[in-house]
Structure 1
Amino acid sequence: MSETNRTVSERLDALPFTRGHLRVLSGSGLGWALDAMDVGLISFIIAALTQHWGLTKGEGGLIASVGFLGMAIGASLGGLLADRIGRRQVFALTLLIYGLATGASALVGGLALLLIFRFLVGLGLGAELPVASTYVSEFAPARIRGRIIVILEAFWAVGWTASAIIGYFVVPASENGWRWAFVIGAVPAVYALVVRLGLPESPRWLASRGRTAEAEKIVAEFEASAGMGAGSGAAPSSPTPEVAPPPAPEAQAAAVHNRLAAIWAPEYRTRTAAIWAVWFCVNFAYYGAFIWIPSILVDAGFGLVRSFGFTLLITLAQLPGYAVAAWLIEKWGRRLTLSVFLIGSAASALAFGTAETEGAIIAAGMALSFFNLGAWGALYAVTPEIYPTSLRGTGAGWAAGFGRIASIIAPLLVPVMLSAGGAGLTFAVFAVFFVVAAAAAWALVEYRGKALEED
């Protein structure tokens, strides 16, 4: 690690939580919430289109799965691009792609075109999520980094709650309610411009690319906002940063190959296998459950509006889950917090699958929301930490991309599992996946309070 990189890293870790951190966190978090709103809306729209278009459960599962197929590809490509061209540019571009595709979905008249737009939505959404967590983690001081990432993830609950509110009030209001829901989901296309103009690039990434003047200028601005003097690596007097010319296409392709090979090098092999396993299992259980809960409740005879009301109540438990995880992750550490919330998710899934009364359904569903979203917060905190700066976007992106394979499969398998054994069997399978993820979490490296690796 070069002296400049060490200086930038140490100065970032020495900072208190500043207005600059709040701007990065809230700016990224709002984008995260809008992402969640889009993903959450599709669960309500599938239930509505099943009635309006006469879709089968298989077709409804296909609508969800094609979006997750786009997310798998987007997550893998987004991480590579983030390591190549920067975190902020990829963040803004992905918001723009999926926002425009969501708005266009409001105009479709049939299943085929809807599937095309849902794939494009997933492409943008999948690339944005791991890039955002990497971006924020590279600004956060080591002693509170885990807590900040869980707070970032908590914006997901805000967005999913917004989707539940739209699902309850807008989607069932008329035959075209689902179209208006898509229109509301197009807001990120406008927000992308705010992100591009308003947020700084990651100083750690800039330093790793040799753009030291830009990196140190950003760090100095954060130090100034905290009332601190510039560190030993203060920005040089020249205002023009030195930027190396872009490598040839052959060199770029080799760099991509090298980064992919590096995350499976002996030093990182165990943690890569473990994080991929956790991502796969959590994606399968989470999206298999929450994409289908509104439709499962409708099939149980509760009616569209009533089922959406139950789902709204269940969703409200996500925020307390994040809040508890944010507190515990710096007390217990990443691995223990993640595994405990995953075991809680498994128990809640079993309870939901066997619940029969309204009270039991709501209570078990709220517990599932609480534990599962707390686990997501811990997972997003630990994922970028286990790789150095040069591999962080790639490692986080490919872990998320591999996990999206499970989110593609799960919505397609849920109708089969429901037919074979009802909700009891379906949620028992989800519980098994949560337990496997909890076990895999113990193979991860614990980074509570430690500085991020630079090289």
Structure 2
Amino acid sequence: MTIDAPHAAAGRHPDTAALAAAIGARFERLPLCRWHVTVRLVIGAVTFFEAFDQLLIAYALPQLRAAWHLGTGQTTALMTVGSVGMLAGALLSGRLADRVGRVKVIAVCIAVSSLCNLALTLCTSPAPFMAARFVQGLAIGGEVPVAATFIAEITRTHQRGRFVLLYELVFPAGLTACALLASWLVPLLGWRWMFGLAAIPGVLCLVVARYVPESPRWLADHGRHEQALDTMAAIEKKVEGITGGPLPEPAPPAPVAHRTAGRGGLRELLSGRYRRRALVVGALWFAGYFVNYGITSWLPTIYRTHFGLDLSTALGYSTVTSCAGLVGCLVVALTVDRAGRRRTLMWCLGGSAVALLLLGLFSGGSATGVLVWTSLGSVFLFGANICLYLYTPELFPTRMRALGSSVGGALNRVGVILGPIVVGAVYADGALGTVFVTLAVVALAGSVTAAAGAEETSGQRLEDVAP
């Protein structure tokens, strides 16, 4: 393949700019096939178990609280320390993935998370438990946005939303699997067994390192021309072998002259068009996860302490809410290319606000009412949040796509941290209805932000959305 780039963007090597454009055009001609699905399954398995690890604390907490005689403040600290680690991990991993590559960061994160699960099984007091959860949070917070970035970079424009979100379903599926398994296993064998089982998937780090190719878009953008061409050619050869025929000729790439010069990094991210995008998507991540984890982190404890349900019933009710959220994710995955990213975010956050407001005003007096309305709210919330995993990588160019995604992930973690803290503070006063009204207000603010500031990206190539 020859690369003609007489008008390459200033500040970038002509071959690099032209090759990056050509790689994007070559991805556009690849039909979705078993190769895409295989890579999606491998990376999806990693993300599945990271989600599993993330939610384990909510189901271990009732037993930990009793065994270690934790007060409300200590309980909140134990619940949120992992999220603090995820915040730091999200901030660090994006810049690291833009420098050293997507696949290396993903493999290291799953290995660290697995080792931390082993360490958690040995803890006998809150201090070492919190330390291990913080380190594990670094790994979980680092892996999830980088994996979303990688999947976006190997996917063509046509039905990108469906393909990416069917991959992203593994995250809420991991949450749901955790809820189902924990609701049965924790009362039966105790919380240590859950963390022990969660350590087994650490072997996936070897599978990722061996079988998942680095993103050719990232290789091209970093001047590793021969490796980018070899990796792209290997992918095309595998696709041709699967489809049984030659690939069509790639469409002409967008003119290099139209591509923006930039070196990536935080300075470029927080300037020009990308600053507005970062602020809007960060606010959406914060709102969605503030509400989501404000609900799910405290539900087992609310059922136990406020309504007096036994542990199995409390965990079972919480599991129903997680399963309902998975339904919302599936609906969004199948409709987001037609509905568009902006409208999906706006209506899903708005729908969750209505459900939680009605719960706070009228139905917070019974466990059944909480179950029904939090489940309905989760349908909308999970749908909005999974859409953000698709939408965020689309907004930023390859040179800082992982960084932009990690900033969204960091605001996600701020929401994950503050949501349980705020709910804990309000719930400590016994004001259960006020808890849900507060969460409804935050969800409504997110809906308004999407309506006013979100840009539509459906049907556009990555290089056109973010040059």
Q: Same fold by TM-score, threshold 0.5 exceeded? A: yes
1:183 is the counterpart of 2:207: no
1:417 is the counterpart of 2:426: yes
Aligned length: 431
CA apart distance, 1:67:
0.5
Instruction: Give the partner amino acid of 1:281.
Output: A
Of residues 373, 384, 401 in structure 2, which corresponds to 1:364? 373
Instruction: Give the partner amino acid of 2:267.
Output: A
Of the structure 1 ranges 73-82 and 217-226, higher mean CA displacement relative to structure 2 is found in: 217-226
Query: How far apart in 2 are the matches of 1:223 and 1:392?
Result: 23
Query: How far apart in 2 are the matches of 1:285 and 1:72?
Result: 17
Query: SS state of the match for residue 173, structure 2?
Result: helix
Structure 1 match to 2:461: 451
Of residues 311, 314, 337 in structure 2, which corresponds to 1:307? 314
CA apart distance, 1:230:
6.0
For the structure 1 residues 69 and 228, does the alpha-carbon distance in structure 2 shift closer, same or farther, using more than 3 Å as the test? Answer: farther
Query: 1:341-367: per-residue Cα shift (whole Å, max 9, x none)?
Result: 111121222344434345433321221
Structure 2 match to 1:195: 208
Structure 2 match to 1:347: 354
Q: Is the 8 A contact 2:364 2:432 kept in 1?
A: no
Structure 1 match to 2:399: 390
Structure 1 match to 2:103: 88
1:330 is the counterpart of 2:343: no
1:429 is the counterpart of 2:438: yes
Structure 2 match to 1:402: 411
1:378 is the counterpart of 2:393: no
CA apart distance, 1:55:
1.3
Query: SS state of the match for residue 169, structure 2?
Result: helix
CA apart distance, 1:40:
1.5
Query: How far apart in 1 are the matches of 2:201 and 2:89?
Result: 17
CA apart distance, 1:228:
5.1
Query: 1:312-370: per-residue Cα shift (whole Å, max 9, x none)?
Result: 22221122211110122100110101111111121222344434345433321221221
CA apart distance, 1:427:
1.4
Query: 1:246-277: per-residue Cα shift (whole Å, max 9, x none)?
Result: xxxxxxxx97xx61010111221211111111
Q: Is the 8 A contact 1:153 1:376 kept in 2?
A: no
For the structure 1 residues 358 and 403, does the alpha-carbon distance in structure 2 shift closer, same or farther, using more than 3 Å as the test? Answer: closer
Q: Which runs of 5+ in 2 are unaligned?
A: 1-7, 9-16, 251-261
Q: Is the 8 A contact 1:40 1:160 kept in 2?
A: yes
Query: How far apart in 2 are the matches of 1:227 and 1:333?
Result: 33
Query: How far apart in 2 are the matches of 1:421 and 1:96?
Result: 41
Q: Is the 8 A contact 2:85 2:141 kept in 1?
A: yes
Alignment map for 1:12-411 (pairs within 5 Å): 12-174=27-189, 177-224=190-237, 225=239, 226-227=243-244, 229=246, 259-299=265-305, 300-353=307-360, 354-411=363-420
Query: How far apart in 2 are the matches of 1:352 and 1:75?
Result: 33
TM-score using structure 1 length: 0.90
Instruction: Give the partner amino acid of 1:446.
Output: E
Of the structure 1 ranges 406-415 and 189-198, higher mean CA displacement relative to structure 2 is found in: 406-415
Query: SS state of the match for residue 172, structure 1?
Result: helix
Query: How far apart in 2 are the matches of 1:259 and 1:121?
Result: 26
For the structure 1 residues 383 and 228, does the alpha-carbon distance in structure 2 shift closer, same or farther, using more than 3 Å as the test? Answer: farther
Q: Is the 8 A contact 1:62 1:411 kept in 2?
A: no
TM-score using structure 2 length: 0.88
CA apart distance, 1:380:
0.8
Of the structure 1 ranges 333-342 and 181-190, higher mean CA displacement relative to structure 2 is found in: 181-190
Q: Is the 8 A contact 1:18 1:222 kept in 2?
A: no
Query: 1:144-194: per-residue Cα shift (whole Å, max 9, x none)?
Result: 2222222122111221122112221111114xx101111112123222111
Q: CA RMSD in A?
A: 1.9
